[in-house]
Amino acid sequence: MTKVSLLIPAYNEEKVLVLLYQRIKAIIDSLSQYDWEILFINDGSKDNTLAVLNSLRNQDERINILDLSRNYGKEVAMLAGFDYVRGDGVIILDADLQDPPELIPQMLNFWEQGYDDVYAKRNSRKGETFFKKKTSQWFYKILQKSTKIPIQLNTGDFRLLDRKCVEALKQIRESNRYTKGMFSWIGYNKKEILFDRDPRAAGETKWNYLKLFSLAIEGITSFTTRPLRISTVFGGIISFFSFLYAIYMLYDTFIYGNDVKGYPSLLVIILFLGGIQLLSLGIMGEYIARIFIETKNRPTYFARSYNGDKII
Ligand code: UDP
Ligand code: MG
């Protein structure tokens, strides 16, 4: 029997898990031609998530639980999931029911037709603020413009992956992860399906703007070095004009004899150059920081237990 796994990262989701389980159960019980696994990754939750998961596992042996040693963030939690998941097909799902499990049959359909990555694209983003929608739109525009790999717009991690995609993703061990980019980067046959994203069923979002901003920086710096180019180009243009201006100044001084004019323009130029230099340094710093972290080559995560058994 074909094994299909649901991979669900969960961080402080005690309020929604039972509801989630009921919704999932209704779907997977109706698809009895598959051998189901529900793998929860407890990403260092500080509430009763683990206890709730354990009691669910007592009711349903299709549930497996991987307990991470601390909170690593969703991106790393998903990698841990790829390492432990068993299915021939793997469906990544948010715990908060923003990704409707009702889409699963449709995903399986396309998978059976031979697609390797069936991803769900959002039609609408109910329950999200105008500002969040706009900023995420801008981010994707910038990312799209600056990398050569096509990154799917309005697409989250909600998707069905064939085993070969999972094996590919497992090999990408970097600890600064931008999984959404990796899905595109590994290639394989992709298929898009559309859905309306629901508001969170219960509990709170784990993202604030600061976290989203750092995910955005992650997305850009891990998939393109174009920003480094931007600072080179800017530097070049500015140097060129400064050179012209210097010639003009020399000419002005020698021909007309210059008294102390131009204090304001001087200040403007100095400030402008200072700004550009800081920006370029910042951009370089972002990349160097990543080199630093990746060269340490630390394990990406540690897990405490799998289904209650200690992991050594
Ligand atoms: N999540 C996680 N670790 C974290 C933050 C979030 O595993 O540090 C999980 C969370 O439990 C949920 C999914 O990632 O299943 C998406 O999180 P959330 O709903 O907070 O993000 P949003 O939908 O607001 O983008
Ligand atoms: Mg959510």
Ligand 1: residues with CB < 6 A are: 9-11, 13, 43, 71, 73-74, 77, 94-96, 98, 205-207
For residues 241 and 262, the model is more confident at 241
**For a pLDDT cut of 90, what percent of the chain falls above it?**
41
Question: In 3D, which of 78, 160, 90 has the Cα closest to residue 120?
Answer: 160
CA of 13 to the centre of ligand 2 (A): 10
Q: What is the pLDDT of residues 110-157, one digit of tens each?
A: 999 999 999 988 876 666 778 777 887 787 787 777 777 777 777 889
Do 76 and 300 contact (CB within 8 A), yes or no? yes
Q: Which atom of ligand 1 lies nearest, measured to the CA of 12?
A: 11
Over 70: is that where the pLDDT of 258 sits? Answer: no
Q: How confident is the model at residue 263 (pLDDT cuts 50, 70, 90)?
A: low
Helix (H, G, I), strand (E, B) or coil at 126: coil
What pTM was estimated for this model as a whole? Answer: 0.75
For Cα atoms 139, 237, 285, give the angle at the middle one, nearest 5 degrees: 50
Residue 114 DSSP class: T
Q: What is the pLDDT of residues 51-100, one digit of tens each?
A: 999 999 999 999 999 999 999 999 999 999 999 999 999 999 999 888 88
Residue nearest to atom 18 of ligand 1 (CA): 205
Q: DSSP letters of 164-176?
A: HHHHHHHH---SS
Average pLDDT over residues 215-241: 79
